[in-house]
Each structure stands twice: as structure tokens, then as C-alpha cells.
């Protein structure tokens, strides 16, 4: 009987240990909109719509073409002017003030290049985290904005032109028509709700 009891306790401990590891494996997955996308979205409905952008016009810009480094610098300069923190100048976590903790921090994540104002310089949809400093968790999803060239250089426009739960897969340009392809992701329920096809107009 004593041996049976020990055997039963050993099984329970092993089972509990496995369950704990499985739960912990899901902690701190930041880019959940990408990592947890449903395996098969072909059967989902597709939202097919058009978004009209503002502030997109031709420019006399002459300079370096848009790339990851330029986009990141422009994004960080844009939000610093609004008083936000950026991932490249965060204070040490132990030295965060009460004001810092109440603020938001910006971190550049990706760029989807296209051409919106029909010149030789690239424009783009960019994605970025906008969270409390050092925030962790699996349901933060990236925000989106447009970056385009202007007479004075590249600038951020059309912040939040698309909901942050809309994850961007790619951008297609056909005969001058720019279209974003992606999906609507419900992070709380770990579920892709629908695909989307969004045309950008100006």
C-alpha cells in the first residue's frame, strides 16, 4: 500500500510539472498577432474595404530613400516631440520615476514599403509597440502609421489609421493601387476572426 501511495504521488508531481511548463511557455510572447495566427484562414470571411488617408501629397524631397533606420529615427523623433519615451532612451528599469511609469514607450518593429505619392522615393506602412515602459504580456499588439516623404523630409502621418488588432501580412501594389493584406486577430481568445483586404486611397 505504501508503495502504491508513493507511485501515485510521483505521477501527480510529474503531471503538475508538465502542466506548469506548458503554461509558462506562453508567457511574454510579445508579437502575438504574428505568432498565434490561426493555421488555416482560408475558410474565414474577408473584409474588403477602402481607407482614405490624409496628408499624402507630392513633394520636392531630395535625399536618402526610406529604409529601416530612417523609419525608426523619424518615428522616434515624432513621438519624442509628443513627450513619449522611446526604446533607445529608456531609463534603467530600477530608475524609472513615477512620471516615467505613467508614460508610454515606443519601439519600432517593422516596415512595409510602398509608394503613396507617386515619386521615386519610397513610402511605407510602419508598425510599432506603444506600451508602458518595459511592459510584458502576450496581448500587446503593434500600432500602425504611414510614413511618407515631404518637402522637409520624411514624416509620420495617419497614426492609428487601422486598428491595432489588424495584423499586416503584406502590401501589394497593382496598377498604382496600394492594398494591405492581413487578418483581424482576437488576442484574448487566441483566434483569427477574419482576413482583410484594405485599399489605401488619398
Residue 23 has pLDDT above 90, yes or no: no
pLDDT of residue 17: 37
pLDDT of residue 27: 24
Q: What is the tens place of the pLDDT at every residue in 186-197? A: 999 999 999 999
> What's the pLDDT band for 41 if we cut at 50, 70, 90?
low
> Which residue bears the cell 505619392?
117
Residue 19 has pLDDT above 70, yes or no: no
Q: What is the tens place of the pLDDT at every residue in 163-176? A: 999 999 999 999 99
| 8 Å CB contact between 115 and 137 | no
Element (H, E) at 155: strand 153-157
The mean per-residue pLDDT over the stretch 109-113 comes to 97
Residue 97 has pLDDT above 90, yes or no: yes
Residue 179 has pLDDT above 60, yes or no: yes
pLDDT of residue 174: 94
3-class SS of residue 180: strand
> Which residue bears the cell 477574419?
194
Burial class (CB in 10 A: 0-12, 13-18, 19+), 58: exposed
Nearest to 116, CA basis, from 67, 157, 162: 157
Q: What is the tens place of the pLDDT at every residue in 52-64? A: 999 999 999 999 9
Residue 154 has pLDDT above 80, yes or no: yes
Across the chain, mean pLDDT equals: 83
Amino acid at each position: 500500500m505504501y508503495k502504491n501511495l508513493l507511485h501515485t504521488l510521483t505521477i501527480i508531481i510529474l503531471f503538475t510539472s508538465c502542466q506548469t511548463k506548458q503554461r509558462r511557455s506562453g508567457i511574454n510572447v510579445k508579437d502575438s498577432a504574428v505568432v498565434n495566427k490561426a493555421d488555416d484562414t482560408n475558410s474565414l470571411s474577408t473584409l474588403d474595404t477602402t481607407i482614405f488617408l490624409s496628408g499624402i501629397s507630392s513633394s520636392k524631397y531630395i535625399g536618402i530613400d526610406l529604409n529601416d533606420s530612417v523609419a525608426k529615427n523619424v518615428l522616434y523623433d515624432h513621438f519624442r516631440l509628443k513627450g513619449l519615451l522611446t526604446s533607445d532612451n529608456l531609463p534603467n528599469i530600477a530608475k524609472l520615476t513615477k512620471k516615467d511609469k505613467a508614460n508610454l514607450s515606443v519601439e519600432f518593429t517593422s516596415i512595409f514599403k510602398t509608394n503613396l505619392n507617386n515619386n521615386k522615393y519610397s513610402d511605407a506602412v510602419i508598425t510599432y509597440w506603444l506600451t508602458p515602459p518595459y511592459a510584458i504580456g502576450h496581448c500587446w499588439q503593434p500600432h500602425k502609421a504611414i510614413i511618407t516623404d515631404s518637402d522637409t523630409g520624411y514624416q509620420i502621418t495617419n497614426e492609428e489609421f487601422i486598428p491595432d488588432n489588424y495584423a499586416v501580412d503584406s502590401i501589394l501594389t497593382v496598377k498604382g493601387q496600394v492594398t494591405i493584406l492581413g487578418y483581424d486577430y482576437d488576442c484574448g481568445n487566441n483566434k483569427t476572426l477574419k482576413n482583410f483586404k484594405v485599399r489605401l486611397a488619398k
